[in-house]
Amino acid sequence: MITHFTFNHFGVNCYLIVDETNRQCAIVDPAAEATHEDCRLVDCVATASLQVTHILLTHAHVDHIAGLRQTCERFHLPVSMHPDGRKLLRQAEAYGSIMGFNVENMSDLDTIDISDGDIINVGTIEVRCLSVPGHCPGSLCFVVPSEKAVLTGDALFQGSIGRTDLPGGNHQQLLANLKEKVMTLPDDYTVLPGHGEPSTIADEKNYNPFL
């Protein structure tokens, strides 16, 4: 099962990948900014008697990591992310001050490197990592075959793609990665983006003007 919350003033989708058999889960993009948002996430985990085994990042832009420190500290876990995104962790405080987020420098957090083709096991659920830089360095998508879903972060949205005008962005690189790695998934896979509403691979093939 995959469930989601929408957090902070940028409307980031935070996802829980849940193995309902073993009651284990992964938190993807812990973006809770306000205390009441953080409580919603914690209450969900507690009410369902879940064990959080992984904290995953699609990428380290500040809106997607607004709640990263408290999440890592509460569940006593490192953050699993692409190593190319570590610079953004170091810059979180500076970017936060520009974009209205009160976050600390996060370069001291424990990290686990994950890269293209890596497999993460959340209980019995297999999560496959796809490296899709272009929106920013270190951007990942997470494919969950058992759910016929792909979590695309800010690489792919319903009818659009991630912006590439921020530092480290590369429009042609993003398009190439999406076409070669994401759009080759089965048509019936659900696209779960970092902002906005879900879609399907088929709809993005047919209607996304960038693809």
Phi and psi, residue 133, nearest 5°: -65, 160
CA-to-CA separations, 58 to 29, 63, 103, 178, in angstroms, rounded = 7, 12, 18, 14
pLDDT for the residue 89: 87
Percent of the chain with pLDDT over 70: 100
Give dist(CA 98, CA 88) in Å, integer: 14
CA distance 90 to 163: 21
Domains of the chain: 2-207 (3.60.15.10)
State the Cα–Cα distance between residues 100 and 125, nearest whole angstrom.
Answer: 36
Tens of pLDDT, residues 121-169: 999 999 999 999 999 999 999 999 999 999 999 999 999 999 999 889 9
Each residue of 38-70: pLDDT tens digit? 999 999 999 999 999 999 999 999 999 999 999
pLDDT at 128: 98
Q: For 92-102, what is the mean pLDDT?
A: 74
| Residue 156 token pair | 């792919």
DSSP three-state, residue 80: strand
112: pLDDT strictly greater than 90: yes
pTM above 0.85, yes or no: yes
Asked if 211 and 160 touch (Cβ cutoff 8 Å), the reply is no
